[in-house]
Amino acid sequence: MEFWVLQSFNGLSYGALLFLLASGLSLIFGVMRIVNLAHGSYFLLGGYVGLSVVWRTGSFPLALLAGGLAIALVGVAMERLFLQRLHGQVLGQVLMTMGFALIFQDLALLIWGGDPYSLPAPAWLVGSLRAGALVFPVYRLFVIAVAVAIAVALWLFLERTRAGAVIRAAVDDEEMARGVGINVARVSMGVFGLGAFLAALGGVVGGAFIGVYPGSDFEILPYAFVVVIVGGLGSLQGAIVGSLLVGLLDNFGKALFPELSYFTLFAPMAVILALKPTGLFGRA
């Protein structure tokens, strides 16, 4: 019983972290139909920027903000200067984002070196809560809380604001959105910035949880893709359900069948794809 509760809790908290990456990736895909291989790099760079800020100022909230905003700028610049001119060229976009992913990886290595770091969490998030024999680390609860807050905020933004409606219109039918006078190029740029912001936020949050180290970009990227593929491209609901599913599957897979843990994660995805190629909540 304890095993199941604790593993579920761990799975949930990892799923929460994944949601921060996958929600942005999914939105970007929804609007621009881009397979962004540099999305893991935003996670990595966000973690490193957050780390530097914590070292300098000692402030964790400031690290979240600075990491998120700095990488949002990087994302916007990348979209504006490079990706926008490749509109509709699937292969070109993939290779371009791969180029950026390699450059970011090497730059991070150049600036922060190859040592793994752990981002120091603020004192009020250290420690754990006890419930009988069960122990829950406070920080993991915090990660879950952040993801829930972001999910609610994104939902309100997408469903209840004018800007959100514009984004949904661009996701549903780009040509039609253009036709009614929506500046899809600007929407793309905004969504790209938002996605990069969320991924970088995930990097800072994850920095005190799974660490900041070279290679974490390409380690977490497949997970984010699985979430998006399972949940459905461009769907917030899909990102939520997908993150939880992937977090839990991954955790139980690792605990129960360590040898086949990736298989227990990727095989259900293949089954879902076989049955519903657009994912659980995706529309064709």
* Chain residues that interact with other proteins, rule: CB under 8 A: 29, 33-35, 37, 82, 86, 88-92, 94-96, 98-107, 109-110, 218, 221-222, 225-226, 228-229, 233, 258-263, 265-267, 269-270, 273-274, 277-278
- Residue closer to other proteins by CB (options 12, 217) is 217
Instruction: Mention every residue, 6+ apart, whose C-beta is less than 8 A from residue 195.
Output: 23, 24, 25, 27, 28, 36, 39, 42, 75
CB closer to other proteins, 109 vs 176: 109
Nearer to other proteins, 104 or 112 (CB): 104
| Closest separation in Å from C-beta 1 to other proteins | 27
Say which DSSP state 282 is in.
-
| DSSP reduced 3-state for 136 | strand
Closest listed residue to residue 164, CA positions, set 284, 31, 5, 39: 31
Least gap, CB of 235 to other proteins (angstroms): 14
With 0-12 / 13-18 / 19 or more C-beta atoms within 10 angstroms meaning exposed / middle / buried, residue 63 is: buried
Spatial separation of the C-alpha atoms in residues 242 and 230, rounded to whole Å: 6
The residue with tokens 């905020």 is 153
Longest dimension (CA), the chain: 60
Backbone angles phi, psi at 173, to 5 degrees: -155, 100
Nearest approach, Cβ of residue 80 and other proteins (Å): 14
Of 73 and 260, nearer to other proteins (C-beta) is: 260
Residue 119 or 249 having the CB closest to other proteins: 249
Nearer to other proteins (CB atom), residue 208 or residue 228: 228
Please tell me the distance from the alpha carbon of residue 46 to that of residue 37, in angstroms, as a whole number.
16
With contact defined as beta carbons under 8 Å apart, do 51 and 63 qualify?
Answer: yes
* CB 231 to other proteins: min, Å: 12
Least Å distance, CB 128 to other proteins, is 29
Task: Tell me the one-letter amino acid at 58.
Answer: G
Taking the complex as a whole, how short is the minimal distance between the CB of residue 253 and other proteins, in angstroms? 9
